[in-house]
Amino acid sequence: MTDDLEEIRRRRLAQLQQQQSANQQMDAGDMQAAMQQEQAQAEMDAKKQALMRQILTPEARERLTNLRMSRKEMVEQLESQLIMLAQNGRLQTMIDDEKLKQLLVQMQPKKRETTIKRM
């Protein structure tokens, strides 16, 4: 009976070691894939920032940076539109702060005014 218990323990230990080594191999593969994805994302961000430096004046870039803190989705949408326009050759000049303000106003949804009538 002691030999049976010892044999079961050895099998279980071997099984756990196999599972652990398999998990480590999978973790190493996952880490490598995550690192590659992170590196690709960093490269895309660097390209995006370089293109934004070509499209926008420093004041306009500063305004976008400040706006990103409160309206990240809106800024990302505007940046993607500007990049698309630049890549298609539809932007002839750099966008200054005033043009950027106009674009931002156009992007904002129209607000409905509510009036309260008392009877």
Q: How far is CA 89 from CA 40, 92, 107, in A?
A: 26, 7, 21
Q: Which pLDDT value is given to residue 20? A: 84
User: pLDDT tens digits, the chain, 119 residues: what are they?
Assistant: 677 778 888 888 898 888 888 777 767 777 788 888 889 998 998 898 889 999 999 999 999 999 999 999 999 999 999 999 988 988 888 999 999 999 988 888 777 788 888 88
Q: What is the pLDDT of residue 95?
A: 92
* CA gap 64, 53 in Å, rounded: 12
pTM above 0.75, yes or no: no
Instruction: Give the pLDDT of residue 33.
Output: 82
pLDDT at 1: 65
Measured between alpha carbons, how far is 77 from 83 in angstroms, rounded to an integer?
A: 10
User: What is the pLDDT, as a whole number, of residue 91?
Assistant: 85
